[in-house]
Structure 1
Amino acid sequence: MSDRDIHVGIVQAQAHRGDVGRNLDTLRRMVGLAADRGADIVVTPELFSTGYDPAGAWTHDGEEVRLALRGIATQLSVALVASTVDTISEQHFISASFFTPEGDELNRVHKRHLYGEDERRHFTPGDDYATPVKWRGLTWGIGICYDVEFPEFGRSQAFRGADALLVPTAVPVLVDPGPRPQAARRMESHVYDASVTSTLQVPVRALENGVYIAYANHTGAGFTGQSCIASPSGQHAALLGPSEEDVAVVPIDKALLSHSRRLNTYMRDLAR
């Protein structure tokens, strides 16, 4: 490997529930687009291959899906982070795997924080945050969707040396919860806008932990889109629109990582 920056990409696309073949074709096309734009590693949305459908995703063969995803990584010569169902002793976990361009599964993590009744009905939560892995000179942490909304996730990865967090996600458009007091109604566009995870929480997590975060969401009916890559300075290095199918690719700037950590000493001061 040369000393050039590693480039991380995100895929934002529309999946179709239960249509694994069609969804894998979409991933192959979109990951290929990211690779063409220079991505070394590409993050894809949560449970994209099966479509995000907690009630139905677990009925598909996770091992078979992972074999296909491994094939995409090797075919396109790119590392791939993709979410599948992992079944162990009749328990189902929402998982995410890190496949290298050589086809090795470097890591597989389980979603620690399940979101909503459907996920809790059909899946088991992971028992801890995963240990980050080293690849091509950087350390990579992986979480899934709701995990990033808990500050403990980012802290656990940063304390274990993560330079970047890779997060497949599926952020739904929230349903209006009903009548609210006048003061709350004046703020409803902020309070009930689920896209604030992309626009607010993810950059904050990146800033407070001195890491890059690649956050890949679904688009299409029922999803907020706005996949993003946030830098350790707390800014968006990339932010996709709410409804477009697209990719974004950003270099992991080691100098910016070092500068941000010198400037914002949260991790060092917290450990004192």
Structure 2
Amino acid sequence: MFTMAVLQSAARINAVTENLERIAMFAQRAAGGGAGLLVTPELFTTGYAPGLVKHSDGEAIRAELGRIARQQGIALVGSSVEAASSGLYICASLFDDQGVERTRYRKAHLFGPDEKAAFTPGNALPELVPYRGLALALGLCYDIEFPEYARSAAVRGADVLCIPTAVPTTGDVGGATPGLTYNAERISTMMVPVRALENGVYIAYANHSAPGFTGLSCIVSPYGTFLDAAGGGDDLLIAEIDEAEVRRARKINTYLDCVRTDLYSPQRSPAALSQLP
């Protein structure tokens, strides 16, 4: 058994010291509650504003996240900007309880014009990191909305997906009638549980709090059930994670064993899809 925590809170834009202090406070609370890992929201250290934070000092921020993990004796998933010769990336890092950065993942699916104008998409699958008997994989926000991301991690052996996210509120948009509208709240309430169920994985999904963001952070079991879930405000979610339940869930729902990969062609481009009847 392993206890995991998820932070939901509000960050101020470019108030890095204040935001890091908030993470440290919640890390202390999580560790005091018996949690061995805390997952924090996407770009929480800088506040989520792609165009305004893209040149933040990600290296210094990651050093501070490692210090918090070491000081509080808890593993920590935090998000920052990575500057490389190939571009600027939104990244997520896993620090162990000694403050060592065990892996860093670059967001593959950038959301909306602001992210696409400020950042470069990553082109690598997340590494699987063994930690406390579990195989952990990182993702960021929009990544989890693509079934290919979660499935690729699951078939490689992931037990837990740690997803820092920043989902803005949309209200009901789209169709003219209530039954034909979209609301971003469904990512947390519908899509994340389905990703967990169809892949037999735990998902720790950490969002910013309202207003402006949907909140609704959650920890979901490999059966697609909520182990803990937030509303709109600040919250610290805590749930027990059991590797045996991953194996048990996959015996009940045998999607990974039964999927017919021989039937599916490589992903078609939007241009090819437009030619379909």
User: Smaller-chain TM-score range?
Assistant: over 0.9
In the alignment, the residues of structure 1 paired with residue 253 and residue 127 of structure 2 have an alpha-carbon distance, to the nearest angstrom, of: 24
* 1:8 lines up with 2:4 in the alignment: yes
RMSD: 1.4
Q: Secondary structure at the match of 1:93?
A: strand
Determine if the alignment matches structure 1 residue 126 to structure 2 residue 122.
yes
- 1:196: which partner in 2? 186
Q: Aligned residue pairs: how many?
A: 261
Output the CA distance in 2 between the equivalents of 1:222 and 1:129. 30
CA–CA distance in structure 1, aligned partners of residues 8 and 60 of structure 2 = 23
Q: Are 1:45 and 2:41 an aligned pair?
A: yes
SS state of the match for residue 257, structure 1?
helix
Which of 196, 207, 214 is matched with 1:217 structurally?
A: 207
Q: Is the 8 A contact 1:30 1:246 kept in 2?
A: no
Residue of structure 1 equivalent to 2:245: 256
Given that 2:173 and 2:183 are in contact with CA atoms closer than 8 Å, whether structure 1 keeps it comes out as no
| Contact 1:111-1:144 at 8 Å conserved across structures | yes
The correspondence for 2:111, drawn from 115, 118, 128, is 115
User: Contact between 2:134 and 2:243, CA under 8 Å: does it hold in 1?
Assistant: no
**What CA distance in whole angstroms lies between the structure 2 residues aligned with 1:162 and 1:227?**
20
What is the TM-score when the length of structure 1 is the normalising length? Answer: 0.92
TM-score of the two chains, using structure 2 as the length reference: 0.91
Structure 1 residue runs without a partner (length 5+): none
Q: Deviations over 1:134-185 (max 9, x none)?
A: 112110011000000000010010011000000000000016657x44xxx2
Deviation above 2 Å: which 4+ runs of structure 1? 175-178
User: For the residues of structure 2 that align with 1:35 and 1:103, how far apart are their CA atoms?
Assistant: 14
Correspondence for 1:229 among 219, 226, 229: 219
* Alignment partners' CA distance in 2, 1:235 and 1:90: 40
Kindly provide the amino acid, as one letter, of the partner of residue 249 in structure 1. Answer: I
Sequence identity percentage: 45
Q: Point out where structure 2 has 5 or more consecutive residues left out of the alignment.
A: 262-277
C-alpha distance in 2, partners of 1:201/1:121? 26
Residue equivalent to 2:230: 240
Q: Report which stretch shifted further, 262-271 or 46-55.
A: 262-271
Shift of 1:84: 0.3
Q: In the alignment, what sits opposite 2:271?
A: none
- 1:143 and 1:166 in contact (8 A); partners too: yes
Residue 22 of structure 2 is matched in structure 1 by 26
> Is 2:143 the counterpart of 1:151?
no
